[in-house]
Chain A
Amino acid sequence: EVQLVQSRAEVKKPGESLKISCEGSGYNFTNYWIAWVRQMPGKGLDWMGIIYPGDSDTTYSPSFEGQVTISVDKSTRTAYLQWSSLKASDTAIYYCAKTPNSNYGPTWFDPWGQGTLVTVSS
Chain B
Amino acid sequence: VMTQSPGTLSVSPGERATLSCRASQSVSSSLAWYQQKPGQAPRLLIYGASTRATGVPARFSGSGSGTEFTLTISSLQSEDFAVYYCQQYNNWPTFGQGTKVEIK
Nearest B residue to A115 via CB reads: B41
Is A112 in the interface zone, CB < 8 Å from B? yes
Q: Contacts A108-B32, A108-B87; is A47 near B93 (CB within 8 Å)?
A: yes
| A95 and B42 contact, CB distance less than 8 A | yes
Contact A44 B85 (CB under 8 A): yes
Residue B81 CB within 8 A of the other chain = no
> Which of B18-26, B63-71, B72-80, B94-102 lies at the interface?
B94-102
Interface residues on A, range: 20 to 34
22 contacts between A and B (CB under 8 A): A44-B85, A46-B95, A47-B92, A59-B92, A61-B92, A106-B30, A106-B90, A106-B92, A107-B89, A107-B93, A108-B47, A108-B87, A108-B89, A109-B42, A109-B44, A109-B87, A109-B93, A110-B53, A111-B44, A112-B41, A112-B42, A114-B40
Does B43 lie at the interface of the complex (its beta carbon under 8 Å from any beta carbon of A)? yes
Is A9 among interface residues, defined by CB-CB distance under 8 A? no
Minimum Cβ distance to chain A for residue B98 (Å): 5
Interface residues on B, range: 20 to 34
Residue of B with least CB distance to A107: B89
Shortest Cβ distance from A110 into B: residue: B44
Task: Give the complex CA separation of A32 and B32 in angstroms.
Answer: 18
* Interchain CA distance A47-B95 in the complex, whole Å: 8
Total of A-B residue pairs, C-beta within 8 Å? 54
Using Cβ atoms and an 8 Å threshold, which residues of chain A touch B92? 47, 59, 61, 106
Give Cα A76–Cα B68 distance, bound, in whole angstroms: 42
User: Is A113 in the interface zone, CB < 8 Å from B?
Assistant: yes
Residues on the B chain within 8 Å of A115, using CB: 41
A11 CB within 8 Å of chain B? no
Interface contact A114-B41, CB-CB below 8 Å: yes
Q: Is A45 an interface residue (CB 8 A)?
A: yes
In chain A between 63 and 103, which residues have their CB closer than 8 angstroms to a CB of chain B?
A: 95, 97, 100
| Complexed CA–CA distance, A111 and B88 (Å) | 17
| Chain A residue at smallest Cβ distance from B46 | A108
CA distance A59 to B92 in the complex (A): 10
